[in-house]
Amino acid sequence: MSREPATPSATFSRSIDLPSRAGAGAGAGAPARDGVAGCAKAALAPARPLVSVGARSPLPLSLVAGVVVAQLYLALKPEGPIMAGLGAGVKAMLGCWLVLTLAEVAGATLRGGAGGSEAVEALPLRTGAAPAVRWPVAWLPRLNALHITVGSAALIAAALQRAPGRLLVNLLGFGLVAVPLLWVVQRRAGPPVATRAALAFALFAFVPTHTDIRQAPASEQARLDSPFRWTVGWPDESWILRHEIQPDRLAMGPFEQPMFLTVVVVGDARGGGQVYATLNGQELGPLRRTEYGTLVVGVPADLLVTQSRLAFELRQSPRDPALRLVAQRWSGGATLGPAASSFYDTRRWWPGTFNDAAGRREPGVYLLELRDSP
């Protein structure tokens, strides 16, 4: 394999993701492409920039957002503590500043070409020169991205020293996200934007250090009123829930082994309810509970081999409102699509499912599957 120059072929390329080098003196190993760099710089610094760094501070808008949120909070919850409202306002203000700053940084970074650092193989957070950013407090020494990042890491460490595990994972996450983030921003958009990015990311990382969330968010199988996954019961012992499967014999081959019908349910059988299944009119018996919380019943192979369509019917006896099936709206994966599931309400068969808790029909499929193991 011959060695090609790092510069891609002129026939196809015009690499624009190099920082502008025009007049800055390229490093010894950098490919010499002043013409392209000049074009890139011209392309990426239009006469009227779409995003200007530091031209408009997000602080005023953020302050307004904070005040509005605090007022709304206090108006909607007049009986609540005032500090909670103020806290909401402060969070809204900081969040607004964060979002606006990150949007500005993102715009500048995607545009690129604003005099990024030349030294890209080292961690380029040391720029030497003071950043040309409008500094809010004149008497404070001007800080660059590295100062802010290191200082923020120290603040995070100080805030989390009460929980060593939490301190380690947060410092790790902060450092290992900050370094590449600021490297990219600095080479694409320059030191001033990298400084703003460092400030914004520091705020993003520091505020959560004051939370104490000990409960993990939990997922659930279904909700009664969910448009995505809901529960389905048997309003009466005469009701039947049917699900049909049309196996692809060519793809799957013959059924040589017994299979298992697995059904997703919610609730337990405190009311003594038992679910029974039939397959094409043949009794399969009661479904039993598994360790995973599902119900399962064996399906003999001889009931499967000759059938082109498998119609499973589920009944409940005695009726138990606590023990319910789960259904979902997306039926594209069912072998018969939206026509796979139906229900019998003692008068006629209806397509889809019936959300008896909500009292309405819902197009969708019951969550059950034919598997080769329970």
| Sites for another protein among residues 89-148 (CB under 8 A) | 91, 95, 110-112, 119-123
51's tokens: 């995003």
CA torsion sign for 258, 264, 267, 273 is negative
313's tokens: 């019917």
Nearer residue to another protein within complex by CB, 148 or 326: 326
Nearer residue to another protein within complex by CB, 208 or 285: 208
Among 78, 134, 212, 256, indicate the residue that binds another protein (CB under 8 A). Answer: 212
Q: Is 155 in the site for another protein (CB under 8 A)?
A: no
Q: How far is CA 363 from CA 220, 265, 324, 338, in A?
A: 21, 18, 17, 7
- Radius of gyration over every alpha carbon of the chain, rounded to an integer in angstroms: 32
Asked if residue 46 lies in contact with residue 29, where contact means CB atoms within 8 angstroms, the answer is no
Q: Is 174 in the site for another protein (CB under 8 A)?
A: yes
Q: Is 367 in the site for another protein (CB under 8 A)?
A: yes
Q: Is 362 in the site for another protein (CB under 8 A)?
A: no
| DSSP bridge partners of 231 | 326
Q: Is 4 in the site for another protein (CB under 8 A)?
A: yes
Strand pairing category for 353-355 and 360-362 = antiparallel
Nearer residue to another protein within complex by CB, 238 or 257: 257
Task: Please provide residue 75's backbone torsions phi and psi, each rounded to the nearest 5 degrees.
Answer: -75, -40
What is the nearest approach in angstroms of another protein to the Cβ of residue 142? 27
Asked if residue 372 lies in contact with residue 257, where contact means CB atoms within 8 angstroms, the answer is yes
Nearer residue to another protein within complex by CB, 137 or 216: 216
Q: Which stretch binds another protein (CB under 8 A): 57-65, 68-76, 295-303, 323-331?
A: 323-331
Nearer residue to another protein within complex by CB, 235 or 244: 244
Q: Is 173 in the site for another protein (CB under 8 A)?
A: yes
Q: In whole angstroms, give the CA distance from residue 147 to residue 138.
A: 17
Contacts of 190 (CB under 8 A, 6+ apart): 53, 108, 114, 115, 116, 117
Q: 76 — alpha (psi -120 to 50), left (phi > 0) or beta?
A: alpha
Among 77, 162, 249, 309, indicate the residue that binds another protein (CB under 8 A). Answer: 162
Element (DSSP H or E) covering residue 249: helix 249-252
86's tokens: 């103020």
Name residue 150's amino acid: V
Q: Is 324 in the site for another protein (CB under 8 A)?
A: no
Q: Is 163 in the site for another protein (CB under 8 A)?
A: yes
Q: Which stretch binds another protein (CB under 8 A): 125-133, 231-239, 352-360, 365-373?
A: 365-373
Q: Is 72 in the site for another protein (CB under 8 A)?
A: no
Nearer residue to another protein within complex by CB, 236 or 302: 302
Among 60, 78, 217, 281, indicate the residue that binds another protein (CB under 8 A). Answer: 217
Q: How far is CA 111 from CA 31, 37, 41, 127, 266, in A?
A: 21, 14, 10, 21, 52
Q: Is 270 in the site for another protein (CB under 8 A)?
A: no
Nearer residue to another protein within complex by CB, 86 or 130: 86
Q: Is 279 in the site for another protein (CB under 8 A)?
A: no
Q: Which residue has the tokens 């082109």?
A: 308
Among 90, 132, 150, 221, indicate the residue that binds another protein (CB under 8 A). Answer: 221
Q: Is 80 in the site for another protein (CB under 8 A)?
A: no
Among 137, 140, 218, 250, indicate the residue that binds another protein (CB under 8 A). Answer: 218
211 secondary structure, DSSP code? -
Q: In whole angstroms, give the CA distance from residue 365 to residue 332.
A: 9
Within residues 29-68, the interface with another protein by CB under 8 A covers: 29-31, 35, 38-44, 46, 50
